[in-house]
Amino acid sequence: MNVVIGGTGIGVSTTTEFEEILRLQYAGFIEADSAQSIQLTVELTPPLTLDPDADIQVRGEGSRWTMERGDFHASYDSATRVGKVWQSASRQSLDSVIRIIHSLTLAEETGFLLHAASAIRGDRAFLFSGKSGAGKTTISSLAPPDVHLLTDEVSYVRNVSGRWTAFGTPFAGELARPGENRSARVEALYLLRHGSENRTELLSAASAARSILRNVLFFADDANLTRRVFDTICAFVEAVPVLELSFLPDAGVWELIH
């Protein structure tokens, strides 16, 4: 089974039963004929612990990475792009490993994963970033029919030939459904804030970079890759307008998004 997100394929080898579960999880992102740039073998084990909310630990030595949380253990070699996961038959556990691997891959490819909803309107993508409770699910659920939702939880952004591009992801939040497998050039990023009216305010690049860096998903304890993520975000805010979006929970907020 080949799960392709942002043009990067992860070939997952596991039991037939677990693969059936994963086919539902990643519906719309499975491409049988696409090149598998990453190979991941999932070995199912009894549950490791009962604490899937424990902190994720990602440590690297050269190209070899180990990833651990209460519910999984994984190894991954970013040079050979081969990895192995030990976990129970939990789609959430594998989803976390796949997010980590994408965050490592993107860090080396001028891209990033962001706590953000994202959507395409017209031919441009818009990102809506914020921590839990900021309104990612709310603004996603208020989207009018002409909007294609890329995700309500974790956005995938990469610089493609000099253009910042957002891709759909299957990483779902409270809407509990995968985004559409589409991509478009990023027009703007909005930092969400609940307010008493719908309005936007353009942020300075420094303020924008600080806010975005706090919402980037990056787990690795690696100074060089962290520096690359920092440089990527700085380049992003120099090219893409970042605005604070205060909004009421009504569909009128989408009149500001164009």
By the rule CB under 8 A, 217 interacts with other proteins: no
In the chain, the amino acid numbered 133 is: G
Answer yes or no: are the C-beta atoms of 154 and 169 closer than 8 Å. yes
Which CB atom, from 51 or from 238, has the smaller least distance to other proteins? 238
- As a whole number of angstroms, the distance between CA 22 and CA 14 comes to 10
Q: How far is the CB of 107 from other proteins (least distance, A)?
A: 12
Residues 190-209: x where in contact with other proteins by CB under 8 A, - otherwise, as a string: --------------xxxx-x
Q: State in angstroms the smallest separation of the CB of 215 from other proteins.
A: 12
Please report where in the chains the tokens 């294609």 appear, as a residue.
Answer: 148
Q: Indicate the pairing of strand 2-5 with strand 72-77.
A: unpaired
> Looking at this protein, which amino acid is placed at residue 116?
A
Cβ nearer to other proteins, comparing 23 with 210: 210
Say if CB 166 and CB 156 are below 8 A apart.
yes
- In the complex, minimum distance from the CB of residue 155 to other proteins, in angstroms, rounded to a whole number: 19
Q: What whole-number distance in Å separates Cα of residue 76 and Cα of residue 33? A: 23
- Candidate ranges 32-40, 48-56, 59-67, 222-230; the one touching other proteins (CB under 8 A): 222-230
Residues that bind other proteins (CB under 8 A): 204-207, 209-210, 213-214, 218, 223-224, 226-227, 230-231, 234, 237-238
